[in-house]
Amino acid sequence: MNKYILLFCAFNIITGQTNQINKILISTKKNGISINISSDVPLNKSQVTGWYNESNSWYYMTIHNTKGDALELEKTKIYYPISSIEAVNTGESLQIGFKMDRPVEDFEFYFGEASNALLVALRFPLENVLATMEMESSIQPNNEINDHIKSRSWVKRFYIAGSSMIGIGTLNSNNQKGWEIPVGFSLIIIAYCYEKFIIHNSK
């Protein structure tokens, strides 16, 4: 009789064991955010629920029959557009909230068969994604213009330095063979070649 009681108690302990969330990793993409949640044992679809609250811009997810170190989870490294994380143990469940600086249009859960990882994919509205891509494309030409200006400035300095060297060498005594003139011509040739063949071909 005692043997059956011990087996029954052991079964209850095993089946009633609470999962432990160990770590959260966040990565950003143009169309959304990936949140990787690591558990000590595999999670299943019936344990996880999520929703986005448009009124306060928080995305919440609840993982039932699960606990976690709230203080450690809140130290997770975050990236824009996530500005804050909150983790709360409520009874036998863990609720994790992500403060969003961009709206969430849709989300999906992916459960790893060969690992204990839960992947949460948050997707942005299409119009926000297009606006971001348009802004990035407008920044790129500006960067190219800045690089071109820097290259021109570099060439101009070489021309000025070369001319100055030649002038100094010319002012020296005719009997004195200095290094200024050869160096000056070398700087001018380098600047000319860079401007003619490198800057011109990159346009």
Domain end call among 101, 124, 147: 124
Cα distance between residue 162 and residue 166, in whole Å = 6
Pairing status of strand 66-68 against strand 19-28: parallel
Cα distance between residue 109 and residue 64, in whole Å = 14
Q: How many domains does the chain have?
A: 2
pTM above 0.85, yes or no: no
Q: What string of pLDDT tens digits covers the 203 residues of the chain?
A: 444 434 434 434 344 457 899 999 999 888 889 999 999 988 889 999 999 999 999 999 999 999 999 999 999 999 999 999 999 998 889 999 999 999 999 999 998 776 788 999 999 887 655 555 555 555 455 555 455 555 556 566 766 776 766 666 666 655 555 666 677 667 677 767 766 665 555 55
How many CB atoms within 10 Å of residue 154?
Answer: 13
Closest CA to 48 of 70, 63, 35: 63
Helical residues (DSSP H) of 30-117, grouped into ranges? 70-73
Domain end call among 124, 139, 154: 124
Residues 118, 135, single domain; the answer is no
Amino acid at 23: K
C-alpha dihedral (142, 198, 203, 133), degrees to nearest 10: -40
Tell me which residue range forms the domain holding 168.
131-202
Q: Which helix (H) or strand (E) holds 32?
A: strand 32-39
User: At 85, which CATH number?
Assistant: 2.60.40.3500
